[in-house]
Amino acid sequence: MATVITHFYNEEYLLPRWLEHHKKYFTDGVLIDYASTDNSVAICREICPTWQIFQSGFTEFDAADCDYEVMFYERQMRGWRIALTVTEFLVGDPLKLMFDTDARAQWYIPGIRFTKWDPDGVLDDRPLWEQITTGVSPETNPIAHSCRSLHNFNDINYKNADGSGSAAGRHYNPPNTHDVMIFHYAHCIVGEPMIKRRLQVQNKVSLQNRQEGLGTHHYFDAGGLNRENLHQMHHQFIAQGESDCSNYINRVIK
């Protein structure tokens, strides 16, 4: 058994791509809805009718609460599992990593933060990695998009790489594989739908996270995220080392 977990709020634009892609690898899914008001739930039921949809026990996105809820579901599962956001695509051949074993096993899967600024553009039906090839990779920035955990045990507890504290956001570092990667598209601003989904997320970030300075990529600063400073935020990611990532794409896309 292999299960993918995600949480979503009004993601009807990306959900069809995400679901169609991941149902090739995962027999089961746990989809946590943060009270979406669009067609997200209906899309989930149509594309992956056997996957489970749960209403979140929280009304806001809070890093610690989100991790707690993900761990709650992970600890009830059998087999392999991974938690991803709707902007994260597990690419390559994860089935090779999910081998049959009774032993505890954990893969730390690295990612690329793809970036593109084209607010008047359009994304077609091709896979996103065929349309967007530039981004911040592990080569240009070692923590470009920190690892996610693919594991087969129930007592998961998300902590920092040295085993201490709490790694809010369920990230790990460093990776122990490069045969599979996570392509991250939250910072690809291509067309009006991507602008809309990007701006709405900030309305779900908890006040406590804002006061603690967590999740600033969602709301930018105290004044919030808008169309003007969205472009400024995009340039911040480019400053971290944007490059052509075709070599990584070709490595995992067969």
pLDDT of residue 147: 85
32 DSSP 8-state letter: E
C-alpha 156/C-alpha 75 separation (Å) is: 7
Give the pLDDT band (50/70/90) at residue 226: confident
* Cβ atoms of residues 4 and 25 within 8 Å: yes
| Strand bridging mode 148-151 / 106-109 | antiparallel
The per-residue pLDDT for range 156-170, each reduced to its tens digit, is 877 654 555 555 666
- Chain centroid offset of residue 127 CA: 16
Give the mean model confidence (pLDDT) for residues 9-35: 96
The ranges assigned to domains in the chain are 2-252
pLDDT of residue 176: 86
C-alpha 28/C-alpha 44 separation (Å) is: 12
Q: Residue 36, by phi and psi: left (phi above 0), alpha (psi -120 to 50) or beta? A: beta
pLDDT of residue 157: 78
Enter the CATH code of domain 2-252: 3.90.550
* Cβ atoms of residues 252 and 138 within 8 Å: no
As given in the structure block, the two tokens for residue 224 are 């919030």
Share of the chain above pLDDT 90, in %: 45
- Chain centroid offset of residue 37 CA: 21
**First-last CA distance in the chain:** 24
| Strand bridging mode 148-151 / 181-184 | unpaired
The per-residue pLDDT for range 83-110, each reduced to its tens digit, is 999 999 999 999 888 886 668 889 989 8
Nearest to 86 by CA among 182, 18, 4, 16: 18
Give the pLDDT band (50/70/90) at residue 218: low
Give the pLDDT band (50/70/90) at residue 80: very high
Give the pLDDT band (50/70/90) at residue 214: low
C-alpha 53/C-alpha 177 separation (Å) is: 30
C-alpha 224/C-alpha 13 separation (Å) is: 23
pLDDT of residue 191: 93
pLDDT: is 167 or 31 the higher one?
31
pLDDT: is 74 or 138 the higher one?
74
pLDDT: is 204 or 54 the higher one?
54
Name the least confident of 75-89, 94-108, 189-203, 205-219.
205-219
E-strand ranges in 2-152 read 2-8, 28-33, 52-55, 80-83, 88-91, 106-109, 111-114, 116-118, 134-136, 148-151
Give the pLDDT band (50/70/90) at residue 224: confident
pLDDT of residue 137: 80
What is the per-residue DSSP string for 140-192?
T-TTTTPBEEEE--S------TTS-S--TTT-B-S-S-SSSEEEE-TTEEESH
Per-residue pLDDT for 212 more than 70?
no
